[in-house]
């Protein structure tokens, strides 16, 4: 049995005749007729009832048509998958990521993706989430990894991957009165270290301090969670930080759980809703989703 026999048979049924099927297939009618006769001979039963005016299916033909269409659909899906893979293999992926995604092993994920698709050109840009979303919106990035805020614009689609928790970090050896859980009120008079104004962490700090009844004195603004830890470890202040960044390898700090921790948005993938995404971007999102589903 040959694939073209299935194609010819399905076309004859769909177009209700040999002549119309041959026209649509761009082959001669005798060739269509010959292939279907060979198919019937191989199966040992007629599939079509032929009259001078029309062609109809026999009972065997009705059963075989369903199977033939299933096979043809699977082959079409396989061709689409191969076309997609070919597009991925020669693609270019531009990833935007916020600083300090300690809950995501971004270098490891990029390395795994590169080993799987060595022909893909990878580019990574880091920055604040607002700037990265602007670049995503104008097509300069394919996907952004970072916090998914509740006020995310409707022009974006978000896929959460991991949750985060906010903790308080203080210099090593620093003690606070009370139980194991700290409160912001206990450090209201201390200098704070934070990311620059406009960052998500800066917004979280201001809102949490306002709920606690004070305005924080942000004496040190820096560019990354790692830099926050360096400054806190040196005794220059205290800070709010995600638990994953607070517990990552780096300068020694003291980590305290908060009795009323402010909410941290989930970390995940963000893409533009407008237009069709590139095959390589879809492959990257599938790679991340699979990695975190199995973790």
Superfamily of domain 91-163+266-293: Periplasmic binding protein-like II (3.40.190.10)
pLDDT of residue 128: 85
Q: What is the CA radius of gyration of the chain?
A: 31
What is the residue whose two structure tokens read 């009259």?
A: 51
Q: What is the pLDDT of residues 195-228, one digit of tens each?
A: 988 888 999 999 999 999 999 999 999 988 999 9
pLDDT of residue 78: 78
Tokens of 143: 């996907």
Residue 37 host element (H or E): helix 29-43
Mean per-residue pLDDT, 2-10: 87
Q: Helix and strand tally (H, E) in the chain?
A: 10, 12
Calculate the CA dihedral of residues 191, 194, 196, 197 and round it to 10 degrees: -70
Mean per-residue pLDDT, 119-146: 91
- Dist. CA 80–CA 84, nearest whole Å: 6
pLDDT of residue 75: 85
- Per DSSP, the three-state class of 194 is strand
- Per DSSP, the three-state class of 113 is helix
- Dist. CA 181–CA 229, nearest whole Å: 20
Nearest to 19 by CA among 48, 45, 55, 49: 55
Q: Are strands 191-195 and 217-222 parallel, antiparallel or unpaired?
A: parallel
Residue 276 pLDDT more than 60?
no
**Residues counted in the chain:** 295
pLDDT of residue 16: 86
- Dist. CA 23–CA 20, nearest whole Å: 5
Tokens of 293: 């589903």
Residue 60 pLDDT more than 80?
yes
pLDDT of residue 293: 74
Tokens of 245: 């960044």
Tokens of 168: 């308080």
- Dist. CA 33–CA 218, nearest whole Å: 83
Q: Is 241 in contact with 225 (CB distance < 8 Å)? A: yes
pLDDT of residue 294: 66
Q: Where in the chain is the domain with CATH 3.40.190.10?
A: 91-163+266-293, 166-256
Calculate the CA dihedral of residues 18, 22, 25, 28 and round it to 10 degrees: 140
pLDDT of residue 255: 93
pLDDT of residue 6: 87
CATH 1.10.1060.10 for domain 3-88: no
Helix 106-116 and helix 279-293: axis angle, to 10°? 120
Q: How far apart are the first and last CA of the chain?
A: 45
Q: Where in the chain is the domain with CATH 1.10.10.10?
A: 3-88
Q: Which CATH class is domain 166-256?
A: alpha beta
Nearest to 8 by CA among 45, 49, 20: 20
Residue 86 pLDDT more than 70?
no
Most distant CA pair in the chain, distance: 98
Q: What is the pTM of this model?
A: 0.67
Nearest to 127 by CA among 107, 108, 110, 147: 147
Higher pLDDT, 241 or 173: 241
């Amino acid at each position: 049995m040959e694939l073209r026999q299935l194609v010819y048979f399905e076309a004859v049924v769909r177009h209700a005749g040999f002549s119309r099927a041959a026209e649509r297939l761009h082959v001669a009618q005798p060739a269509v007729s010959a292939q279907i006769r060979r198919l019937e001979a191989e199966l040992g039963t007629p599939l079509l009832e032929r009259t001078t005016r029309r062609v109809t299916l026999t009972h065997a033909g009705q059963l075989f048509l369903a199977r033939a269409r299933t096979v043809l659909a699977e082959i079409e899906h396989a061709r689409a998958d191969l076309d997609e893979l070919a597009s991925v293999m020669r693609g270019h992926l531009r990833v935007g990521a916020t600083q300090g995604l300690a809950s995501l092993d971004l270098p490891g994920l990029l390395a795994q993706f590169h080993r799987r698709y060595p022909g893909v050109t990878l580019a990574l840009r880091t920055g604040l989430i607002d700037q990265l979303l602007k670049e995503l919106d104008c097509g300069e990035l394919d996907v952004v990894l970072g916090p998914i805020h509740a006020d995310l614009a409707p022009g974006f689609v978000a896929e959460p991957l991991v949750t985060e928790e906010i903790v308080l970090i203080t210099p090593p050896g620093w003690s606070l009165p009370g139980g194991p859980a700290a409160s912001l009120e206990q450090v209201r008079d201390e200098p704070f270290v934070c990311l620059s104004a406009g960052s998500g962490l800066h917004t979280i700090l201001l809102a949490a301090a306002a709920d606690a009844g004070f305005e924080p004195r942000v004496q040190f603004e820096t560019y990354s969670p790692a830099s926050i830890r360096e400054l806190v470890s040196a005794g220059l202040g205290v800070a709010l930080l995600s638990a994953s960044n607070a517990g990552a390898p780096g300068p020694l700090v003291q980590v305290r759980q908060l009795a009323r921790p402010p909410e941290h948005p989930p970390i995940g993938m963000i893409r533009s809703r407008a237009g069709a995404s590139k095959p390589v971007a879809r492959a990257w999102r599938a790679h991340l989703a699979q990695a975190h589903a199995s973790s």
